[in-house]
Structure 1
Amino acid sequence: MSAVVPVKWLFARLYEPDIVIVDCRFTMGKPDAGRTAYEEEHIPGAVYLDLERDLSAPVEEDGHGGRHPLPDIAELAARLGKVGISNESRVVAYDDQGGAMASRLWWLMKYLGHENVFVMEGGFTAWKNAGLLTSSEQKVLIPARFLATVQHNMLVEVEEVRESLGKAGVVLVDSREAPRYRGEVEPLDRVAGHIPGARNFFWAEGRRADGTWKSADEQRERFASLSQEDEIIVYCGSGVTATPNVLALREAGFVRVKLYAGSWSDWISYADNPIATGEK
């Protein structure tokens, strides 16, 4: 089954007891906008998880770990349980940012060993455009128990990225827009450029012009220049918009896909790390 489910799929299962719907809306630079939007209206029964408060750890003073460090595993598992997610839950995440925030939760849950997690096609706007009911009522939370089984092979740290530079059989994928990849602009981080040898696949190109996700065949065509035999390390600015590329690669049949969670903002926090600009 695809990791991306249509609005109608969720609507048909809206009140099934093992379904937990998670609103992940978040706007970079406006940290309260997502929660405010959730409190105004959301899919009935949805709970809210915040990118920075729930799905990331606090930023380190030295910048190591990047702008959105991975949360502590025990704290995240406890937080998931607190909003009613158990190991038996089917979790459906949505946002209104093209799937980037929902994919962060999708990746984190996969990393914790939870397979039944999905991203809703089109986000909250698609739900509203379908004429479906919304609510401002917040669900009464019944805590559950969530036990993590960490999938360490899904993640790489900065040391492994350093060791991969120029190594045969390892491909770095930069998920940012091309001007940021080339180092022409950098709106968020103090240094522009990319990790040497990385190839640019802008995450948003995993969607069609109408905003819907490309099919598995379309994703395979998009990544046709990559080999499924290679180990693929995906990064972005801070480990958020890399996750929809991880999802897209998995949909296309790639299995040796890892996330460099600290991403560019972590890479540049080490003064000795090399930096490339342009197309190289």
Structure 2
Amino acid sequence: MNQKYFVDCQWLAQHLNNSHVVIVDCRFQLSDPNWGWLQYTHSHIPGAYYLDLDRDLSSTIQAHGGRHPLPEVEGLGTKLASMGVVQNETLVVAYDNSRFAFAARLWWLLRYLGHEKVALLDGGWNAWQSDGYPVTTEIPPAQTGFFEPQPHQDWIVNLEQVKACQNKPGVVLVDSRERDRYAGIREPIDPIAGHIPGAVNSPWQLVSDQDGYLLPSINQEQLWSDYTSAEEIIVYCGSGVTACVNLLSLKLAGIERTKLYPGGWSDWCSYLNQ
């Protein structure tokens, strides 16, 4: 397990009272947006705060831009500070129960905003529960931290930039959705099925096992072995959320030349509907 970007349940249990560690619950369901908050209020890791995909980790949906536009950075910075996060000092540990689908969005966002000290809980909430570690319903009070967002604007691309790169040698466009959505066989969320022309497919679920544990480094490297010589890899999914799991995997595989298309297929197909 990569110690820089992951911690296990035993480690987290030993650091529940560490003032330099802030825990964030990222549980969410696209089909039921209130579900994550309800689960959090019912039971969560002691000391954990909650960040909601729709309300905290995304901004307001517009006609274009996708279903989960990147959040307004000053607002997110204020929320992180109120959880006690001190930029570049506090280790933020994020978890969900969806094989990193939502926690990885926070992992990527924090690094995008200039905060490298962030890790994911290997196995997530399910591992914490099954291993018998303590849980609580107590919501922690607001704290005083400091977070001044410094976005890496060159980490993201928009629709026009994707179009400009579509047939460019050396640039790989990766669709992170399940194979049947990529193939246009099934589309449960967006109004049009299919994928961006020229994109290859690497489903985000290949990064972890069925129980939500990160697969070994050799697996991460194998996932991207065909693209190690790429000049740039642009990753997208439906709306810039699960693509972050693949960006995490690429990081673990030692591939740095990556960018996120946050709007993803939901932004792309919004122009096809006109």
Query: Shorter-chain TM-score: what band?
Result: over 0.9
The offset of 1:222, in angstroms, is: 1.8
Q: State the one-letter code of the partner of 1:98.
A: R
How many residues are treated as equivalent by the alignment?
271
- 1:243-271 residue CA offsets vs partner (Å, 9 max, x unmatched): 00000010000000111011000111223
Partner SS for 1:269: helix
Give the match for residue 96 of structure 2: 95
Give the match for residue 39 of structure 2: 37
For the pair 1:66 / 2:72, whether they are aligned, the reply is no
Matched-pair contact (CA < 8 Å) for 1:59–1:65: yes
Q: For the residues of structure 2 that align with 1:143 and 1:26, how far apart are their CA atoms?
A: 26
For the pair 1:55 / 2:74, whether they are aligned, the reply is no
Q: Which moved more, 1:8-17 or 1:125-134?
A: 8-17
- 1:23-46 residue CA offsets vs partner (Å, 9 max, x unmatched): 000011211110011001100000
For the pair 1:237 / 2:238, whether they are aligned, the reply is yes
When residues 164 and 144 of structure 1 are mapped into structure 2, their CA distance, relative to the original with a 3 A threshold, is: same
When residues 59 and 153 of structure 1 are mapped into structure 2, their CA distance, relative to the original with a 3 A threshold, is: same
CA RMSD of aligned residues (A): 1.4
The offset of 1:3, in angstroms, is: 1.2
Give the match for residue 76 of structure 1: 76
- 1:211-243 residue CA offsets vs partner (Å, 9 max, x unmatched): 311122210012211124420000000111100
Matched-pair contact (CA < 8 Å) for 1:235–1:242: yes
Which structure 2 residues correspond to residues 134-145 of structure 1 after superposition, within 5 A? 134-145=135-146
The offset of 1:209, in angstroms, is: 4.1
Q: State the one-letter code of the partner of 1:79.
A: K
Q: State the one-letter code of the partner of 1:71.
A: P
The offset of 1:173, in angstroms, is: 0.5
Q: For the residues of structure 2 that align with 1:159 and 1:245, how far apart are their CA atoms?
A: 22
Q: For the residues of structure 1 that align with 2:210 and 2:273, how far apart are their CA atoms?
A: 40
Q: Which moved more, 1:78-87 or 1:96-105?
A: 78-87
Matched-pair contact (CA < 8 Å) for 1:228–1:256: no
Which structure 2 residues correspond to residues 176-195 of structure 1 after superposition, within 5 A? 176-195=177-196
Partner SS for 1:268: helix
Q: TM-score, normalised by structure 2?
A: 0.96
Q: State the one-letter code of the partner of 2:15.
A: R
Matched-pair contact (CA < 8 Å) for 2:94–2:103: yes
Q: TM-score, normalised by structure 1?
A: 0.94
For the pair 1:125 / 2:126, whether they are aligned, the reply is yes
For the pair 1:197 / 2:198, whether they are aligned, the reply is yes
Partner SS for 1:100: coil
Q: For the residues of structure 2 that align with 1:153 and 1:14, how far apart are their CA atoms?
A: 35
Matched-pair contact (CA < 8 Å) for 1:2–1:251: no
Q: For the residues of structure 2 that align with 1:2 and 1:82, how far apart are their CA atoms?
A: 24
Percent of pairs identical after alignment?
45
Q: For the residues of structure 1 that align with 2:45 and 2:229, how far apart are their CA atoms?
A: 37
Q: State the one-letter code of the partner of 2:146.
A: R
Matched-pair contact (CA < 8 Å) for 1:101–1:240: yes
- 1:107-140 residue CA offsets vs partner (Å, 9 max, x unmatched): 1001001000011111111001111110111111
The offset of 1:172, in angstroms, is: 0.4
When residues 138 and 210 of structure 1 are mapped into structure 2, their CA distance, relative to the original with a 3 A threshold, is: closer
Q: For the residues of structure 1 that align with 2:147 and 2:81, how far apart are their CA atoms?
A: 5
Give the match for residue 18 of structure 2: 16
Structure 2 residue ranges without an equivalent (≥5): none
When residues 124 and 209 of structure 1 are mapped into structure 2, their CA distance, relative to the original with a 3 A threshold, is: closer
Matched-pair contact (CA < 8 Å) for 1:93–1:105: yes
Q: For the residues of structure 1 that align with 2:185 and 2:159, how far apart are their CA atoms?
A: 24
